[in-house]
Amino acid sequence: MRFPHNVRVFRGPLDAAPIAGVLLLLLLFLLFHSSLVFIPGVPIRLPEAPPLPGAETPLLVVAVEEGGGFYFEHQRCDEATLRAHLTAAVRQAPKPPTLVVQADRNVRSEVLVRLGLLARDAGVKDALLATRPPTLPLPAAPSQ
């Protein structure tokens, strides 16, 4: 089989439009997957601790922000509303639920004690403090 000798591989200037289109698409993908996307919620910095076992009973999660505000089921609550929500959740649960407190590491202990008393009045028997695993230490500089 013979191939024609007048066929040439692409020889000429590159067209910039396709390259610009691909770069624009890459820029859009990086922009939409970056930290510029607003993540709703309350910023809570949990304290660090080694991994602990979890609870086997149903969980009720209450978040406590640094200023002492309470959040239950993604809604800000005052103490009276939180007590009513916790009491209703305890009544609906088949087993006594465990309260998981996601408290910011700068929350005062008085706020946590107040939350514990409020949960006890609502009928919660157990409570756990949510933590995050410790961050890895930076590698030590090699000694010379």
Domain assignment present for 1 = no
pTM given for the model:
0.64
Q: What is the mean pLDDT of residues 93-109?
A: 90
- Domain hosting residue 77, numbered range: 59-129
Residue 78 has pLDDT above 90, yes or no: yes
**Strand 126-129 and strand 98-103: pairing?**
parallel
Six-digit token pair at 96? 């006594």
What is the number of domains present in the chain?
A: 1
CATH code for the domain of 97: 3.30.420.270
Q: What is the dihedral of CA 78, 57, 48, 143, to 10 degrees?
A: -170
At 39, the pLDDT band (50, 70, 90 cuts) reads low
What pLDDT sits at residue 36? 59
Domain assignment present for 52 = no
Domain assignment present for 103 = yes
Domain assignment present for 85 = yes
Domain assignment present for 124 = yes
Phi, psi of 72 (to 5 degrees): -130, 130
Domain assignment present for 90 = yes
Average pLDDT, the chain: 85
Domain assignment present for 30 = no
